[in-house]
Amino acid sequence: MQMKALCAVLLSCAAVLAHAAPAPSTEADDMDSLLAQKGLMVHLREVRNSVAERASDLVVNAMGFIGVPYRRGGASEAGVDCSGFVRTIYEQTVGLMLPHRASEQAAVTQKIDRSELKPGDLVFFNTMRRAFSHVGIYVGDNKFIHAPKPGAKVRVEDMRIGYWNGRFDGARRVEGADDAAIAAAANLPAAR
């Protein structure tokens, strides 16, 4: 009997809430209509596609480095360290010169939550008892590509394994980063 009473109360509450809910707004429809009239919907779609293509290009280019040996200070297919790898991929793929040190790359890029990660974003780890001492490129499905350490080669790893999960320091997005800060950190003149 108590179960029937509880169900009746829940159904009554649901009916009241449904009746009290405001009517759907047409503001979103009005905005879409305005954007379409101004030709901006096409532009927004092009921007979304461009960002998706850029992320895909970053990941594909990064995957081309699998097997390249780790080399401290390296930034070419002859050998790379973690930040040199990231710098090289971004320079080759999108023409953006990031600083060489992982901590500087973290400082000039946009902080994002781990749940917001998208392919092409940067992931940072504390591997040397200091913040942002290691960096890699997120490729999706909780995996990242990086140049791990001397004697190793560029490879893809899962961020959920104990070693990486316990050392995760944060995620950053290069899109939306401060161009002037990137140029200054890379010792380049700022774009005008």
φ, ψ of residue 118 in degrees (nearest 5) = -130, 155
Cα(51)–Cα(145) distance, integer angstroms: 19
Is 19 among the catalytic positions?
Answer: no
Contact 109, 170 (CB under 8 A): no
The β-bridge partners of 134 are 125
Is 82 among the catalytic positions?
Answer: yes
Q: What does 22-35 look like in DSSP terms, one character per residue? A: PPPPSHHHHHHHHH
What is the DSSP-derived secondary structure letter of residue 21?
S
Helices (H), the chain: 2-20, 27-37, 40-63, 82-94, 102-107, 162-167, 179-185
Active-site pick, 13, 19, 43, 82: 82
Cα(124)–Cα(93) distance, integer angstroms: 20
Residues known to be catalytic: 82, 134, 146
